[in-house]
Amino acid sequence: MDQRIAPNQAAHRYCSPESALDVRTRDRLGQADVVWLAGSAAQATQQPDLSCVIAGVRLRNPFVLASGILGNDAALLERCGEAGAGAVTSKSCGPTPRRGHPNPTVLDWGPGLLNAVGLPNPGARAQAEMLRSARVRLQPLGSVLVASIFADTVANFAEVAGIICEAGPDLLELNISCPNVAHEFGQPFAASATDAAAVTEAVKRVATCPVIVKLAPNVPDIGQIARAVEAGGADAICAVNTMPGMAIDVFSGRPILANRSGGISGPPLKAIAVRAVYEITAAVDLPVIGTGGVTCGLDAAEMIMAGATAVGLGTAVYYRGTEVFGQVEAELREFMVGQGYRNLAEMRGIAHE
Ligand SMILES: Cc1cc2nc3c(=O)[nH]c(=O)nc-3n(C[C@H](O)[C@H](O)[C@H](O)COP(=O)(O)O)c2cc1C
């Protein structure tokens, strides 16, 4: 039988009450009238199974540290593994070392973050060393390592992929969607089905592990881009990267970020990301890591109901610390028990029905 739960009660139950984030989440959900939650508490007889499989790689739970959130350090990735992350994604790395953009690079504008960090990284060779160390630290914890890469050309993408695969990551993620380097690199590869497929094909020729392609939210038809990368050989999709945005200091009349514009992340991105995941999973059969604005267990359930196989956490780590992984897992588990879901497959994609 269906249960009707007032959204503010639901958020209160599935988010720890003491964090500032939870106040935001309650306020946010409280703006709606009611939400309908399927199932019955009576159906729950045992702990739900939260494991999932991305391109043949098993994750103990669906929560994945999103790329770029914690810098580029093996110890920080390890901390997320210790906190319970199913997988951790390294900061995107390119062919050669980059300093990134000057400060200010990140702004907490209230509802979410705006960033234009500019892809600082030590270059592919040094990154491969860091990833080797991260892999050794993460393996005993049962956390999967995803290595993220970017490049300015298709050929350089393939070159970086070859170097990074030598470090033995479980999965390789192609960041073809960073919105903050357009003045250097031109429009992101993710803006064009042809370009997105070309990068995917070139990397697939050299990659020794499954390849995830990370898409941009600001395209007219994300299903078309998803079909193109599927045709190019992608094993999975991550959706989405940040959404371009800008903030202006009205007293100086100047944009706040040194790069002028940046990428919006956190709660304002969630509805955009949920829709993107829904459109992609309607268009292709690939597993999707639903990323964008997920900050609590209910958000994760929503992403999975849109069709996601796993769920990325980025800005939520800024709000709730690395402990967010264990907390969100507990919140999702409690929701599933309450609603009678025994595993993620029973929830996955039900919004399509
Ligand atoms: C400070 C910051 C740096 C980021 N750096 C990267 C990056 O290097 N590569 C990448 O693919 N995405 C990067 N992202 C995007 C995130 O991985 C994620 O797609 C986005 O923030 C949306 O998820 P969220 O709302 O959970 O944060 C970055 C985001 C932030 C906030």
Q: Would you say residue 41 has pLDDT above 70?
A: no
Q: Is 156 in the pocket of ligand 1 (CB under 6 A)?
A: no
Q: Residue 273: its pLDDT value, please? A: 98
Domain boundaries, the chain: 51-325
Index of the ligand 1 atom closest to the CA of residue 291:
23
pLDDT in tens, 300-343: 999 999 999 999 999 999 999 999 999 999 999 999 999 999 99
Owner of token pair 């939210």? 217
323 phi, psi to nearest 5 deg: -60, -15
What average pLDDT does range 64-80 have in this prediction? Answer: 94
**Whole-angstrom distance, CA of residue 147 vs CA of residue 165:** 8
Write the CA distances from 127 to 93, 131, 150, 164, integer angstroms.
7, 6, 12, 7
Q: Would you say residue 227 has pLDDT above 50?
A: yes
Q: Is 294 in the pocket of ligand 1 (CB under 6 A)?
A: yes
Q: Residue 154: its pLDDT value, please? A: 95
315: nearest Cα among 270, 257, 256, 249: 270
Write the CA distances from 55 to 1, 171, 337, integer angstroms.
35, 9, 27
Q: Residue 72: its pLDDT value, please? A: 85
pLDDT in tens, 92-151: 999 999 999 999 999 999 999 999 999 999 999 999 999 999 999 999 999 999 999 999
Q: Please pick, among 165, 178, 209, 238, the residue that the annotation labels catalytic.
A: 178
Q: Residue 184: its pLDDT value, please? A: 78
Q: Whose CA is nearest to atom 6 of ligand 1?
A: 68
User: Tokens at residue 270, please?
Assistant: 């969630």
What average pLDDT does range 80-99 have in this prediction? Answer: 97
Q: Would you say residue 32 has pLDDT above 60?
A: no
**Whole-angstrom distance, CA of residue 296 vs CA of residue 16:** 9
pLDDT in tens, 148-164: 999 999 999 999 999 99
pLDDT in tens, 248-286: 999 999 999 999 999 999 999 999 999 999 999 999 999
**Whole-angstrom distance, CA of residue 280 vs CA of residue 101:** 32
Q: Is 266 in the pocket of ligand 1 (CB under 6 A)?
A: yes
Q: Residue 181: its pLDDT value, please? A: 74
Q: Would you say residue 206 has pLDDT above 60?
A: yes
Q: Residue 28: its pLDDT value, please? A: 41
Q: Residue 45: its pLDDT value, please? A: 53
**Whole-angstrom distance, CA of residue 333 vs CA of residue 343:** 9
Q: Residue 19: its pLDDT value, please? A: 40
Q: Is 214 in the pocket of ligand 1 (CB under 6 A)?
A: yes
Question: Using 50, 70 and 90 to split pLDDT, how confident is the model at 77?
Answer: very high
**Whole-angstrom distance, CA of residue 150 vs CA of residue 94:** 5
What average pLDDT does range 27-31 have in this prediction? Answer: 41
Q: Is 89 in the pocket of ligand 1 (CB under 6 A)?
A: no
* Active site annotation includes 93: no
Mean pLDDT in the chain? 89
CATH class of the region 51-325: alpha beta
Q: Would you say residue 2 has pLDDT above 80?
A: no
What average pLDDT does range 16-25 have in this prediction? Answer: 40
What average pLDDT does range 223-250 have in this prediction? Answer: 98
Q: How close is the Cα of 315 to the center of ligand 1, in Å?
A: 8
277: nearest Cα among 264, 268, 263, 287: 287
Question: Using 50, 70 and 90 to split pLDDT, how confident is the model at 182?
Answer: confident
